[in-house]
């Protein structure tokens, strides 16, 4: 019987790291199982033309918007809101 599963992923220039932690209780004992892995990819340098699937294309376009918004500071609420505006505008235009 599972008490909870936590999943997290983080990206580096070399690829995607992931970790899954299961807290399992049974027979009066708590057991923690951890699985982790790394999936190498080229998302850091991928162009829109090279992107093969929807996730990759979305990742590249969001990365491009972030690169074009280098003047924004994520410590500033208005800058975060402006970035959200840019991403939402891109997403709604792309989905039409």
Output the average pLDDT for the chain.
Answer: 88
Q: Model pTM greater than 0.85?
A: no
Domains of the chain, by residue range, sit at 1-41, 43-96
35-65 exposure pattern, b = at least 16 Cβ within 10 A, e = fewer:
eeeeeeeebeebeeeebeeeebbebbbeeee
Query: pLDDT digit string (tens) for 19-62?
Result: 999 988 777 778 889 999 999 999 999 999 999 998 898 899 98
């Amino acid at each position: 019987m599972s008490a909870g599963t936590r999943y997290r992923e983080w990206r580096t220039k070399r690829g995607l790291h992931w970790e899954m932690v299961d807290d399992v209780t049974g027979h009066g004992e708590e057991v923690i199982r951890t699985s982790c892995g790394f999936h190498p990819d080229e998302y850091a340098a991928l162009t829109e033309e090279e992107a093969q699937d929807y996730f990759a294309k979305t990742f590249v376009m969001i990365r491009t918007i972030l690169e074009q918004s280098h003047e924004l500071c994520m410590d500033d609420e208005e800058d975060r809101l402006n970035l959200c505006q840019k991403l939402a505008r891109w997403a709604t235009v792309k989905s039409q």
